[in-house]
Structure 1
């Protein structure tokens, strides 16, 4: 009798759908659930601006939200949009890499990448700031750089000739003359 129960339990586990964090869900059902909420992992969105169309994936949005959170978690919401805008402005510029990941991971580009604070789950405000920037909100007037003058260790940012200087919260956003 004990062997029959063991065999039955084994068969149930073999023929039962995968168990994931959402509960007992088959792979097919999980894909349908993702589609129901429009959560397609590699979905590409075209964002049009006056220069060129940008093609942004959900992975890009997530990475941008991580940077926004890592660089501006204590800043006002407008400052969060500004950080996301700097990423997009760099993406548009021919002087920077042409992918979000390339812009974010460019050597010495963002302190949160260097110090590891990027490796955190971004909050809702960070996502919303990225989405607002993707919709065209740019409180920086096309800034390509920003820094916090109180804590910055980057001397070139302090000493370089700047244009379009805008201060939002503790950050100074600017373009180079």
Structure 2
């Protein structure tokens, strides 16, 4: 089973990566436990390498999100947590709005101004109203999971937005007053950068 996990992650990495320079499996007592993947941006004459170490010893990595040569290795727990946020924050919104909410979470994990894990992004103080008001304990439906997987595949209708809110009902003055760039309305939400 561990070999299948390794193969799955390896194939996902290949499908999302640019040119693969080096792939090596580490073996401890005959069991593959990790994979080291190096990618090269072929346009970069200096051969700047992005090396990522993937620990797959517990077999929990189920998805890989790759954007601009940055990768996030997502567990089932991450996917479920994002789906909960999508359900709680965009219930009643169009499907594209659900994909957009999932994209904001992934964009934040990749952005150095935010925490580097899904869990830390979701539970960052005052980040999501559904966490503040306790509505994160919802059970997401299949449409929410589909939206998360769509975002993981790279469909980001927000143009890499880091924030969103509903201008009609938001009580946060910061959201109303902040200068927004690259804003886009999807359903009742406004997605933007600052």
TM-score (norm 1): 0.75
Residues in 2 aligned to 1:69 and 1:139: alpha-carbon distance in whole angstroms: 17
**Relative contact order (C-alpha < 8 Å, sep 6+): which is higher?**
1
Identify unmatched segments of 5+ residues in structure 1. Answer: 1-34
Equivalent position to 1:73, from 91, 103, 125? 91
Equivalent position to 2:176, from 137, 143, 158? 158
Work out whether 1:89 is the aligned partner of 2:76. no
Q: What displacement does 1:116 show?
A: 0.9
Q: Which structure features the higher share of strand residues?
A: 2
- Are the counterparts in 1 of residues 87 and 141 from structure 2 also a CA contact under 8 Å? yes
What residue in structure 2 maps to residue 128 of structure 1? 146
Residues in 2 aligned to 1:115 and 1:145: alpha-carbon distance in whole angstroms: 18
Equivalent position to 2:116, from 98, 108, 114? 98
Residues in 1 aligned to 2:157 and 2:128: alpha-carbon distance in whole angstroms: 19
Residues in 1 aligned to 2:61 and 2:133: alpha-carbon distance in whole angstroms: 30
Aligned length: 140
Give 1 or 2 for the bigger CA radius of gyration: 1
Q: What displacement does 1:102 show?
A: 0.3
Residues in 2 aligned to 1:44 and 1:126: alpha-carbon distance in whole angstroms: 17
Identify unmatched segments of 5+ residues in structure 2. Answer: 6-57
Q: Which structure features the higher share of helix residues?
A: 1
TM-score (norm 2): 0.69
SS at match of 1:45: strand
